[in-house]
Structure 1
Amino acid sequence: MAGAFRIEVQKAHRRHDLLFCLLVPLLVMLWIGGISAPSQDELENAYSALFYSIPVANVLILPIVMAVLASRLWDMEVKGSTWKLLYTLQSRRSLFLGKALFGTMEVVFITFLEMGGTYLTGKIYGYTEEFPVNQFLYLTACTLMVELLIFFGAFLIMILTKNPLPALCAGIVASLTGLFSAFLPQIVSYFVPWGYFIPLSSYEVANWEQTTHTITYGTRPYNWGLLIFTLILIMILFYASWCRVQKQEV
C-alpha cells in the first residue's frame, strides 16, 4: 500500500492537486463574504453569522468538489483503460487503499484549511464575539464527516461506471438538491445525506428585525445521532467500493 500511496502523491503533484485544495476553502470564504469587513454592529455577532453561513456554502460547493477529487483519483486508470494491467502488477487491496487513503487526506486537508480560514477571518477583522471553541470543533467534525460521505459516494460511482462524467453529474445534482432540501422541513433533509451540512448545523436564526435588518442567531443541541449515522454511511460506501474493486474482472 505504501508504494501505491507514493504513486498517488506523484500523480497529484502532476495534477496540481495542492493548488486545487487551496482554492476550495478560498472559494467558500469568498462565497460567505469573508473578504468584506463586517460593520461595527455586526462584529458582536460575527462568528455566529459565519458559522451559520458555512454549512449553506458547503452544501452548494463541496459536493462538486468531492466529485472532482474522486474522479481525478481514477483519471489515468479510466483514460488508459489500465484496470486489468494494474491488477496483474499489484494487489487490488494496495491500489484501493492507496487511493482511498490519499483521497481522505485531501478531504481532511481541505477541511483543515476551511476551518482555519474561519478563525483567521475573525482575527483579521477583529470580531468582538468570543470565539466559540466547542461550536468550532463540532462544525469541523460535521464538515469532515459529510465531505467524506460525499467523497466516497462519488468514489463508488467512479468505480461502478469507470467514467468521470457520471460522478461529476452526481456532484452537481447533489449540490442543487442539497441546497433545495435546506428550505424544506428538517425531516425531509434527513433523506438527503449529501446535504447533511445543514441539519447537522447547530446555528439557527433566532430573530430578524425587518426595520434594522439585524439578525440574531441562536444555537440548538448538537445532532450527535445524525453525525453517527453519517459515519455509518461512510463505512457502508467504503465497504461497497472495496467489494466492487474485488469483483472487477481481470
Structure 2
Amino acid sequence: MNRRIATGRAVVNEFAKMRHLSVGLVSTVMVIGVLALSLFAVASSPDFDPDTPDAWNALLGGMSLGVPLISPLLLAVLASRQVDIEHQGSGWLLQSTSGITPGEVCRAKLVALGIIVTAITIGTNLIVLIVGKLLAGILPPAPLGHWAGFTFCMLAVNLAVLALHILLSAKVENQLVALGIGVLGCILAVFSQGLPAAAAHVTPWGYYALAQAAGYQGDQLLMLPISYPSIVALAVIVGVVFAVLTFRFDRQEA
C-alpha cells in the first residue's frame, strides 16, 4: 500500500511540474497543427464533395499525414522537458532520498504525460470529426468504426514513441540528442507512407504509416486498411522494453 501511495504521489508531482514546462502550449500546437492539416486536405482536394461518403476520406487522409508530421517532434519535446528537469535540478537524487527510484520516476512520467497525450489524440480526432460535419458540411454518416480504429492506433503509436523518448531523455542528459531524433522521427514517419509495409515495421515511427486510415492510390483518395496486429505488437513490445529498462534503473539505484 505504501508503494502505491508513493507511486500516486510521484504521478501527482509530475503534473505539478507541468505548470512550468509549457505542456499546455505544446499540446495546443499539436491539436491546432493536426486540425489545420486536416482542413487543408479538404480545401486542396479537387474531388471533395460533401454530399458523398468519400468526403470523409479527405479528413482521414489529412489526419493520417498531420499526426506523423507533427507528433514525433512534439512528443520528443514533451518527454525532453519533463525529464530534463530531473537532470538540471538533481531530481533523480532528491526523489531517491524520498524513496522514489529513477525507474519509478520514469514510469510516473509516462503515466502523467500519457494522460495528456491520450486527451490530445482523442480530443483532436473528435474535433476534426465535428468540424467535418458542421464546418465542411459533410452530409453522409461518418465511418465511425474506421475512425475509432484509426484513433486507437494513432494513440498506441503516440504512446509508444512517448515511452521511448522518456527512456532516451533519461539516459542521455544532452536533450538536443532527443530533439534531433524527434526531427528524424517526423521524416521517417512521413516517408514511411511511401514505403512497403515491411519497411515501415523497421522503426517505431514507421508504424504511423501502418495506422494510415486514408490516402491516395494513384489519383484517387481511398479509405485504407489499418494494420491492427502490427500496432498491437508495437504497443506490447515497447511496453515490455519500457518495463524492463525502468526496472533496471531501479536496480542500478539500489
Does the residue aligned with 1:14 lie in a helix, a strand or coil? coil
Shift of the alpha carbon at 1:247? 4.1
1:131 corresponds to which residue? 142
TM-score by length of 1: 0.87
Does the residue aligned with 1:74 lie in a helix, a strand or coil? helix
Shift of the alpha carbon at 1:40? 8.9
2:203 corresponds to which residue? 192
2:231 corresponds to which residue? 227
2:183 corresponds to which residue? 172
CA shift in 2, pair 1:246/1:63, >3 Å: same
Correspondences of 1:1-250 after superposition (within 5 Å): 1-33=7-39, 41-43=48-50, 44=52, 45-92=54-101, 94-122=104-132, 123-206=134-217, 208=219, 215-220=220-225, 222-249=226-253
For the Cα contact (< 8 Å) 1:160–1:244, is it kept in 2?
Answer: no
The one-letter code matched in structure 1 to 2:130 is L
The runs of 5 or more residues in structure 2 that have no matched partner are: 1-6
Shift of the alpha carbon at 1:143? 0.7
Computed over aligned residues only, the root mean square deviation of the Cα atoms, in angstroms, reads: 2.3
The one-letter code matched in structure 2 to 1:239 is A
The one-letter code matched in structure 1 to 2:196 is P
Post-superposition Cα deviations, 1:127-168, rounded to whole Å, max 9, x if no partner, equal: 123211101110110110000111011111111113322111
Using the alignment, how far apart are the partners of 2:240 and 2:41 within structure 1?
A: 39
Using the alignment, how far apart are the partners of 2:87 and 2:135 within structure 1?
A: 44
- Range with bigger deviation, 79-88 or 154-163: 79-88
For the Cα contact (< 8 Å) 1:5–1:99, is it kept in 2?
Answer: yes
Using the alignment, how far apart are the partners of 1:41 and 1:179 within structure 2?
A: 23
Aligned residues: 243
Post-superposition Cα deviations, 1:167-207, rounded to whole Å, max 9, x if no partner, equal: 11111111112222222222211212212122222434356
Post-superposition Cα deviations, 1:31-74, rounded to whole Å, max 9, x if no partner, equal: 23359757895222321111122122211211101111111111
Does the residue aligned with 2:216 lie in a helix, a strand or coil? strand
Using the alignment, how far apart are the partners of 2:218 and 2:140 within structure 1?
A: 18
Using the alignment, how far apart are the partners of 2:204 and 2:22 within structure 1?
A: 30
CA shift in 2, pair 1:248/1:83, >3 Å: farther
Using the alignment, how far apart are the partners of 2:48 and 2:196 within structure 1?
A: 31
2:4 corresponds to which residue? none
Post-superposition Cα deviations, 1:81-138, rounded to whole Å, max 9, x if no partner, equal: 3322321223215433321210111110110221112112112221123211101110
Shift of the alpha carbon at 1:19? 3.1
| Percent of aligned pairs with the same amino acid | 23
Using the alignment, how far apart are the partners of 2:204 and 2:104 within structure 1?
A: 29
Q: Give every structure 1 segment of 4 or more consecutive aligned residues whose post-TM-superposition deviation is greater than 6 Å.
A: none
TM-score by length of 2: 0.85
- Range with bigger deviation, 8-17 or 137-146: 8-17
- Range with bigger deviation, 112-121 or 193-202: 193-202
Shift of the alpha carbon at 1:235? 0.8
Using the alignment, how far apart are the partners of 1:180 and 1:218 within structure 2?
A: 19
The runs of 5 or more residues in structure 1 that have no matched partner are: 209-214
CA shift in 2, pair 1:35/1:199, >3 Å: closer
For the Cα contact (< 8 Å) 2:33–2:66, is it kept in 1?
Answer: no
Using the alignment, how far apart are the partners of 1:54 and 1:150 within structure 2?
A: 18
Does the residue aligned with 1:162 lie in a helix, a strand or coil? coil
1:212 corresponds to which residue? none
